[in-house]
Copies of this chain bind each other. A is one copy, B any other.
Amino acid sequence: MTLTPSPADKFTFGLWTVGNRGRDPFGEFVRPPLDPVKAVHKLAAAGAWGVNFHDNDLVPIDATAAERDQIVHAFKAALASTGMTVPMATTNLFTDPVFKDGAFTAHDPQVRAYALQKTMRAMDLGVELGARTYVFWGGREGAEVDAAKDPLEAIKRFRDAINFLCGYARDQKYELRFALEAKPNEPRGDIYFATTASYLAFIPTLDYPDMVGVNPEFAHEQMAGLNFFHVVAQAIEAGKLFHIDLNDQKPGRFDQDLRFASESIKPLFFLVKLLEESGYDGPRHFDAHAYRTENEEGVWDFARGCMRTYLILKDKARQFCKHAGIQALLAEIRDQGGVAPIGPYTPQRASELKARAFDRQTLTARRLPYERIDQLVVDLLLGV
């Protein structure tokens, strides 16, 4: 087992994650700004593969064209000298007060237009830096006052925006896939498309559904108490897992963005196992940040910790597959007892099935040794 991350592991961080300055609703910044160029170098040294950004993580919202070019030039140089990639980019459609009531779903058509413009420009920037995935997190697309916004209209407006931007990407010959990221609440009282599944349902209604998938985030589904392993499984089954945001979070509270697997050891073990076994070959992106009590040194402890625990869990997933006791129990549990599944519908099958006699007591009596296998997983996780 090697716990030293390497680019082959495809670990990525957002500029906003290691650059998080520790401001929260009740307190001011505790850390100075982190230069993106420095972030690239430090992440590369730590073994990361890539770095992602919102447009304004790199280029301030009011930068002049000259400033933009200078920043991008320096950033590209850092990428080149370190071999770091930019697999994903996204737009900040939430920080500026202009987005106080949403971007693509805002009432004001000018705000919606501005959000489109800002996204097109941010796509240009992302593509210029190599991004292949473009994430949409509609953090302000929601409401506190359901009297004032029509959720049906909001869905239509969001669809119009995504369709427009798909058109733009195609027209520009951008090799981009879009990944939609859900969150149930915060900063809005309720955010539209509250769960990953909500976006999975929305995607088939788009003009170019093949271009669009999802970017599930552990913390966001965990806030609603949903089982993230199940959420990601549905995205994979639908062929729509285009990106993933890894972090940690306690359920039923504010967005914590904790170091990966610092709290939810067992659920994130199953997630890592699923990712590794599913054929997913995209970035393992950490969307988290260091505790507010940390200084910059702690930020790098945080980043290393995310990657380290991922690798530990990945190794445990391998062990799971080779663990004789676990595999024997799984074989027993999954044993079909020589009985074939019923197969697709035919009238004859239905008619035979309707007439078949079942002995419920016998079927009930079958052993399902879930306590035992679960304990073996706990043992495996605890290293005993």
Contact = CB atoms under 8 A, between A and B. Distances in A.
Given A238-B201, A358-B117, A382 B265 contact: yes
A188 to B, nearest CB: 9
Contacts of A107: 333-334, 368
A233 B192 CA distance: 10
B151 A233 contact: yes
The residue in A192, A346, A354 that gathers the most chain B C-beta atoms within 10 A of its C-beta is A354
B225 A350 contact: no
Interface string A152-192: 10011000100111111001000000000000111101101
A217 to B, nearest CB: 14
A147 B252 contact: no
Residue of A265, A346, A347, A371 with most partner-chain B CB within 10 A? A371
A253 interface: yes
Interface in A241-279: 250-256, 258-259, 261-263, 265-267, 270
A382 B384 contact: no
B291 A371 contact: yes
A344 B163 contact: yes
A97 B379 CA distance: 30
Given A164-B344, A238-B201, A356-B113, A381 B25 contact: no
A98 interface: yes
A110 interface: yes
Given A148-B333, A194-B227, A371-B305, A250 B253 contact: no
Given A28-B96, A30-B100, A108-B337, A229 B295 contact: no
A144 interface: yes
Interface string A303-333: 0110011001100100010000010011001
A384 to B, nearest CB: 6
Chain copies in the assembly? 4
A240 to B, nearest CB: 9
Chain B CB within 10 A, most for which of A95, A147, A192: A147
A344 B206 CA distance: 12
A237 B156 contact: yes
Contact of A26 (B139, B252, B292): B139
B97 A184 contact: no
A28 B97 contact: yes
Nearest to A223: B253
A375 B253 contact: no
A173 to B, nearest CB: 12
A369 to B, nearest CB: 6
Given A113-B356, A197-B195, A344-B160, A97 B263 contact: no
A46 interface: no
Contact of A301 (B144, B167, B372): B372
Contacts of A29: 97
A184 B382 contact: no
A182 B230 CA distance: 14
A151 B234 contact: yes
A265 to B, nearest CB: 5
Given A234-B201, A354-B120, A262 B374 contact: yes
19 contacts: A26-B186, A109-B336, A121-B354, A145-B370, A151-B229, A164-B350, A171-B350, A185-B225, A194-B231, A195-B197, A200-B200, A224-B224, A224-B225, A293-B368, A297-B367, A298-B371, A298-B372, A381-B381, A382-B382
